[in-house]
């Protein structure tokens, strides 16, 4: 369904006390993977290795230095196909992108252009399971972390995307909120949607059809059945390798 080929990305960094010397830091190097309909891919790795960068590229928020993202024979990174990329994917970034001073309903309205459709979705459609109806008039800044995440996901699925891309969706949430989000990801799979997400929680590996470890800009497939000790061993092995 979706195939990433040789994705490379870097960013400029400043060096020196006064920041006069500039250089490039390689973040991603020849990233390759494939994602089928109804599959879930998990990505793990230490903080700062580029997981968020990769997800933002896959969602069309940032451009790679090189590489392809193929869907039905089209490279979605090309300018003429980037609109299709944004429609294909729903993106839930790690940081809260919501307008804090606006109400839940007004935040949703920014994504659901048709207000009547939004109201129908909240009543009996895809959004009814998020439990947002009683919070529609509440400013986002007054919501708990779990509720903010629900609103974030609700915004991301406005166009009914085929691929849901989520950056640490359960970070700092309580057990009930985590379960609700993981249950929703499982439901996406059952409905033929695909999921890509990052995590530091090994208990979440069980929903993955594929698990990848990112280290030193490289992406390597590992077993989704491994436990914490095996994760550490894999990281140490990659550290020696690179």
Taking only the tens place, the pLDDT of each residue in 36-58 is 999 999 999 989 899 999 999 99
User: In whole angstroms, how far apart are CA 223 and each of 24, 46, 68?
Assistant: 33, 17, 25
Instruction: Give the pLDDT of residue 113.
Output: 87
The separation between the first and the last C-alpha atoms of the chain, rounded to the nearest angstrom, is 31
Per residue in 211-229, pLDDT (tens digit) is: 999 998 999 998 888 766 6
* Average confidence (pLDDT) over 160-185: 94
- The number of distinct structural domains making up the chain is 1
Instruction: Give the pLDDT of residue 229.
Output: 65
* Average confidence (pLDDT) over 111-139: 93
**Would you put residue 183 in left (φ > 0), alpha (ψ -120 to 50) or beta?**
alpha
Per residue in 225-241, pLDDT (tens digit) is: 876 666 667 666 766 66
Does 150 fall in a domain? no
DSSP assignment of the chain, as one string?
Answer: -EEEEEEEEEEEEEESTTS-EEEEEEEEEEEEEEE-TT-EEEEE--TTSSHHHHHHHHTTSS--SEEEEEETTEETTSGGGHHHHHHHEEEE-SS--S-TTSBHHHHHHTT-S-HHHHHHHHHTSGGGGG--GGGTTSBGGGS-HHHHHHHHHHHHTTT--SEEEEESTTTT--HHHHHHHHHHHHHHHHTT-EEEEE-S-GGGGGG-SEEEEEETTEEEEE-TT--HHHHHHHHHHHHHH-
Per residue in 18-38, pLDDT (tens digit) is: 554 456 789 999 999 999 999
Does 143 fall in a domain? no
The CATH number linked to 179 is 3.40.50.300
166 closest CA partner among 174, 175, 157: 157
Per residue in 193-202, pLDDT (tens digit) is: 999 999 999 8
* Average confidence (pLDDT) over 73-82: 94
User: In whole angstroms, how far apart are CA 196 and each of 61, 106, 114?
Assistant: 15, 27, 28
For residue 205, pLDDT over 50 is answered with yes
pTM equals: 0.90
Count Cβ neighbours within 10 Å for each residue of 198-230 and write b for 16 or more, e otherwise.
Answer: bbeebebbebbebbbbbbebbbeebebebeeee
Does 185 fall in a domain? yes
Instruction: Give the pLDDT of residue 25.
Output: 84
Instruction: Give the pLDDT of residue 22.
Output: 57
Which residue would you say has higher pLDDT here, 138 or 216? 138
Does 130 fall in a domain? no
Instruction: Give the pLDDT of residue 235.
Output: 66
Does 199 fall in a domain? yes
Its domain, for residue 184, covers 2-96+159-241
Q: Which pairing describes strands 66-71 and 74-75: parallel, antiparallel, or unpaired?
A: antiparallel
Q: Which tokens go with 104?
A: 């839940």
For residue 138, pLDDT over 80 is answered with yes
Instruction: Give the pLDDT of residue 109.
Output: 95
* Cβ pair 2, 37 in contact under 8 A: no
For residue 110, pLDDT over 60 is answered with yes
Instruction: Give the pLDDT of residue 129.
Output: 87
Percent of the chain surpassing pLDDT 90: 74
Question: Predicted confidence band at 167 (pLDDT cuts at 50, 70, 90)?
Answer: very high
User: In whole angstroms, how far apart are CA 65 and each of 15, 183, 189?
Assistant: 21, 35, 31
Instruction: Give the pLDDT of residue 21.
Output: 46
Instruction: Give the pLDDT of residue 24.
Output: 78
Instruction: Give the pLDDT of residue 62.
Output: 94
């Amino acid at each position: 369904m979706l195939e990433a080929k040789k994705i490379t990305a870097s960013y400029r960094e400043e060096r020196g006390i006064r920041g006069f010397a500039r250089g490039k830091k390689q973040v991603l190097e020849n990233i390759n993977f494939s994602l089928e309909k109804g599959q879930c891919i998990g990505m793990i790795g230490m903080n700062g290795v580029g997981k968020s960068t990769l997800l933002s590229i896959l969602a069309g928020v940032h451009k790679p230095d090189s590489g392809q993202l193929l869907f039905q024979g089209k490279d979605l990174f090309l300018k003429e196909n980037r609109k299709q990329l944004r429609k294909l994917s729903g993106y839930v970034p790690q940081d809260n992108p919501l307008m804090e001073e606006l109400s839940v309903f007004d935040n949703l309205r920014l994504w659901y252009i048709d207000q009547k459709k939004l109201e129908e979705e909240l009543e009996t459609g895809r959004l009814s399971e998020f439990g947002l109806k009683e919070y529609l008039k509440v400013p986002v800044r007054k919501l708990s972390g779990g509720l903010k995440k629900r609103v974030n996901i609700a915004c991301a699925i406005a166009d009914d995307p085929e691929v849901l891309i989520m950056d640490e969706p359960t970070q700092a949430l309580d057990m009930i909120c985590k379960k609700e989000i993981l249950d929703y990801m499982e439901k996406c799979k059952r409905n033929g949607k695909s999921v890509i997400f990052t995590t530091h929680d090994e208990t979440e590996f069980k929903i993955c059809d594929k698990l990848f470890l990112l280290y030193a800009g490289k992406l390597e497939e590992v077993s989704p059945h491994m436990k914490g000790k095996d994760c550490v061993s894999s990281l140490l092995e990659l550290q020696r390798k690179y």
